[in-house]
Structure 1
Amino acid sequence: MNNPKIPVINVVACLMPSYGIGYQGKLPWRLKQEMAYFKQLTTNTRDPTKQNAVVMGRRTWESIPSRFRPLPSRLNVVVSRGFDTWATRHVDESNPLSTYIGAPDLRSAITTLQQRAQELRIERIYVMGGAQIYQAIAESGLLDHWLLTAVYPLDGTPEPPMDTWLTAPSPDHYILQTNEQQVRDFLPPSLDLLKPNPSSADNPITKPKNNPNCGVFFVHSEKGYAFGITLYDRRRN
């Protein structure tokens, strides 16, 4: 009997509408609420006996401060041509908990996670960058969802510089989810971002009156930016 397919999800924060994701190898903003959302999203599972995998390229891995690697309570998978085979490695040989998986390429990383999902207790596979990894998984046919944090500068906040952009999810392959309840059902129920936020009524991206189907939900604001969650689902033939 075949094991059920594990959902593969691109999770990324983008400056909208340009889909900018970075400047000089870093995020051009530091939003505590958005960072907490990412941690809760990728850590929480519906089944308490399972864990999520986070898949990233070598540069993204190296951009994480060493004291935070590997990301805790998640199976960390690092894709690099410098790895010959799928293998468990240690950030710190003296710490048995500091393990991550090294994989030689993205396709083998995803397919191995799918094949060993029961053994590794995987509930979801979150792809967390960088830009080449996001694009490669989107073009591979292995991606099921895009989960975007849509970030907008508020009035008075200058648009930050960008030198790295994503290609927007293709409408030929992905459907923008405009039903708030379905987006809520897709997310882990314990996310702080899902709690009522009365101030969001004043936010410019909260389902504008002239665009009730904008697909940006659970809007919050911080440090001169507004941000909310957008979900794209893969079209099924």
Structure 2
Amino acid sequence: MLSPTPEPTFDHIQTALMELWGVINRLSQIPPPQCDRYRVSIFGSARLQPTDALYIDVKNLAQTLTTMGCDIITGGGPGLMQAANEGSVLGDPTDQQQSIGVRIALDFEQSTNPFVEQLYTHETFFSRLHQFVLLSQAFIVVPGGIGTTLETMMIWQLLQVRKLDNVPLILVGDMWGDLVTWAKQSMVEQATPQLASPADMQIPICVATMDEAIAHIRQGQAEWNTTCKI
């Protein structure tokens, strides 16, 4: 007679989860297929309305990038995410580029905006953020809240530790310039010992206008077309 199977303990569950994460980590090291278009993720607030000036600016930004041949990636929700996806659709009347949304499943979150053409939905923030990294050749951050800050800081750290290389992180507006200034002063200039390298503070590209962001993307796209595109 077979002995009854013992009930799994927390240690068994923890061991199985760590083994599963090991598999996921190994799979995530496989690079995705190279896309034939430069892909730009745009991070920003979900709270703005289509009549707000910043919404219109972000829509125009994404429309211009799309006419340059870029795919646009957002979090797929409302506000400035919708503005970017809308601009992508407006800039692509012949449907050559993609307007992509990478959503997080939350009970209180609004539905996917109507301008998303290709949708991915995640149950966890860390898997969602990882997909942004896998999909994108550049990141533009426009004004936003805590979620936008989380996305920004993750990309900044990945560039700092060289898990990402030669990927522009472009921060648009005073709020992000003030964040970088705070980091520089608090982590480098006023800290003993220093809490970060001075070179780390040079990673984000702080700009005042959408036109400056477009110029940096144009340069990054040209370099990618020369060195990375298959």
The structure in which a higher percent of residues are strand is 1
Greater C-alpha Rg:
2
The structure in which a higher percent of residues are helix is 2
Q: Which has the higher contact order (CA 8 A, sep 6+)?
A: 1
- TM-score under structure 2 normalisation? 0.39
